[in-house]
Structure 1
């Protein structure tokens, strides 16, 4: 249960940033290197979650991967 709560909070923390980036297309304050590394890391956590069969790790990292990837795509597109 604690893992699910932690997963929800950390995953949902990306929603406001993604909304702001989508609305404004302003990514000037976002580091391309940091977000690239983060997206790769989250993807690897997702794969790890599948490997160990941990639902909280799978769902949280899948959603975080999608949200962070959106932000990263905007960063690359509107650089």
Structure 2
């Protein structure tokens, strides 16, 4: 793996893992009342576009990190709807 791919994987890992505490907190508390639908919807759309971009340029770090981030962000949106 090239050094720029390693850098991309590290950056993607850190930004993706940053969502895990929010997912865990939302799941445990069964509350997402302070989560903004607007912010998470726009964020998820942006992540989806990054994922499409990563697929287009065939960049593993971009694809993997944005796929996982999208799953986590959509999970938060779904929990907000479910726990309402």
* Runs of 4 or more consecutive aligned structure 1 residues displaced over 3 Å after TM superposition: none
Matched, 1:24 2:29: yes
Q: 1:72 aligns with which of 57, 74, 77?
A: 77
> TM-score of the superposition, structure 1-length normalised?
0.93
Matched, 1:14 2:19: yes
> TM-score of the superposition, structure 2-length normalised?
0.88
Larger radius of gyration: 2
For these two proteins, the number of residue pairs brought into alignment is 79
Q: Give unpaired runs (5+ residues) of structure 1.
A: none
Q: Give unpaired runs (5+ residues) of structure 2.
A: 1-5
Cα RMSD of the aligned pairs, angstroms, is 1.0
Greater displacement, 24-33 / 51-60: 24-33
CA distance in 1, matches of 2:81, 2:44: 13
